[in-house]
Amino acid sequence: MTLREHAVGGTVDGTSAVVPDLLVVVATAEDAAALAPLGRPTHVGGEEETDGPAQPVLVATGPDPLAVDEALDDLGAPAGRLLLLDGPCDTWAEEAARMVVRLDALLAEEPPGGVVVRGGTEAALAAARSAVRLRVPLVHLTAEQESSERAATQAAVAELAAWQTSPSGGVPYPTEIDLLVHRRLAPPQPSRHRAADPTVVRMPSGRGPRSSMTA
C-alpha cells in the first residue's frame, strides 16, 4: 500500500486518492534556503508534478516565524502554515515549551502523511517528538550546527527518527517521502550535449572495420 492509499484508506468516491500533506518544518533562514525547493512546483516533462506520494507544505516557525515566512516568500516558496509563538521567548526552555504545544497541536489536529525536519532546532525536536508519538513518518535532514547545543539536539532528533523505524518503533521506513525529498532537494544536473560527451562512441560513417571507431 502506498503512502497516499494509507493516508485515506484507498480511494475517494471510487476515483484517485487524495494526496496527503507532507509538513516541512522551517525554523530558521538557513532552513528556508535549504528547504525552499520543497515548496516550489516541480515540473516533469514540461508539466507540473501532481501525482507524488505527498504534497509538501512549508511550515514557517521558530523563534521568529515572520522572518522565516518572509525569507520563504523571497525564495519563491511561500509557507503554507505560519506558527506564531505569542511574543518573543526569553530562554531556550520557553521556546522549546511553546514549540511543543504549537507543533503537537498542528500534527494532532489533522495528522499529515509525513513530517520533514532539518538540523537541531527546538522546532525540529518538538516536531520529531510529536511525529513519533502520533506514528507519523519522520524524515530528518542533517545540517552543520553552529553550537554544541544545536549539535546535541540534532543528534537527539536523529535518534528519534532512527528509533521510529526500528523494530521497537514499528513504523515502516518512509521510502516514498525520502525519495521525494531528496529528488526535489538535489541540485539540478547540467544538461550534457552528446557531441561533447567523451563517453559517446561514434560509429564510422562508412562500412570499415569496427576498430576504426573513435571515442
Question: What type of residue is 111?
Answer: P
- What's CA 187's distance to the chain center, in Å? 14
Beta-strand relationship, 47-48 and 43-44: antiparallel
> What pTM does this model have?
0.78
Query: Is pLDDT at 169 greater than 80 in this prediction?
Result: yes
Query: Is pLDDT at 176 greater than 90 in this prediction?
Result: yes
Query: Is pLDDT at 178 greater than 50 in this prediction?
Result: yes
Cα(75)–Cα(40) distance, integer angstroms: 9
In the chain, what percentage of residues exceed pLDDT 70? 74
Cα(160)–Cα(149) distance, integer angstroms: 17
What's the pLDDT tens digit per position in 56-100?
A: 999 999 989 999 999 999 999 999 999 988 777 788 888 888 889
What's the pLDDT tens digit per position in 106-153?
A: 999 989 999 999 999 999 999 999 999 999 999 999 999 889 999 999
C-alpha cell, 208: 570499415
For residue 128, give the nearest of 149, 152, 156, 101 by alpha carbon.
Answer: 156
At residue 171 the predicted structure's pLDDT band, cuts being 50, 70 and 90, is very high
Of residues 192 and 136, which shows the higher confidence score?
136
pLDDT of residue 31: 97
- What's CA 22's distance to the chain center, in Å? 8
Rounded to 5°, angle at Cα 57 from 54 and 58? 145
